[in-house]
Amino acid sequence: MQKLSLEQELKNNAYPGRGIVIGKSPNGKYAVTAYFIMGRSENSRNRVFVNDGEGIRTQAFDPSKLTDPSLIIYAPVRVLGNKTIVTNGDQTDTIYEGMDKQLTFEQSLRSREFEPDAPNYTPRISGIMHIDKGSYSYAMSILKSNNGNPDACNRYTFAYSNPVAGEGHFIHTYMGDGNPLPSFEGEPTWVDIDGDIDTFTKMVWENLNEDNKVSLFVRYINIADGTYETKIINKNH
């Protein structure tokens, strides 16, 4: 597998949909995550990220224009003890509740499938970061239709222990624009993680498609003590 430039991966894809990046900062001190949302419809574009406790939630920018909240209003990020959960839907809550009852990340997601938005059947993508006494590991998951067939759900979990400084993985809902939208394929993309939180946040935001980008969340977590810094950018403000 070849390590790719996250900047180029974002720049060269007009519509990756929703995306999760998880990795480690170049200096090895921080666990890094980014979550972005994009939209093609007015309903999907009418959103902002807001802080909610230790996590975030989406909310309508203009409540009068909100047509269907079911798949677009949710908490993408929640924190359970030393675990940070990042997903593209309300499966954040499924993982939180499952892990709170001692289920694993993968077991918690067995009760969920891809989204019911025919004909796209948008995959559910999820990530979990675990920081414990100076050690750090993460995992990613995708639940998707069987090559566009909603009668079967294909489930993949990718776990990464002892991540390497300056590297990470990127998973997103769609391979690119299309009708129907083609689901993500293969392993999460091996990408570089570069710079401090300000540099990294700016790079991601500037390389997301100008028309389609909606919101971005970035968090750098100090692996030594669990403290963190968060950046949120909303196109609507």
**Whether CATH 3.60.20.20 fits 6-234:** yes
- Segment 149-155 long-range contacts (CB within 8 Å, at least 24 positions apart): 150/114, 150/116, 150/118, 150/121, 153/113, 153/114, 155/106, 155/109, 155/110
pLDDT in tens, 2-52: 999 999 999 999 999 999 999 999 999 999 999 999 999 999 999 999 999
**16 touches 38 (CB < 8 A):** yes
Q: For the chain, what is the radius of gyration of the CA atoms?
A: 16
Give the per-residue pLDDT at 106. Answer: 98
Q: Which two tokens stand for residue 9?
A: 């991966």
Give the per-residue pLDDT at 125. Answer: 98
Give the per-residue pLDDT at 70. Answer: 86
Which parts of the chain register pLDDT below 50? none
Domain limits, the chain: 6-234
Measure the CA–CA gap between 199 and 83, rounded to whole angstroms.
25
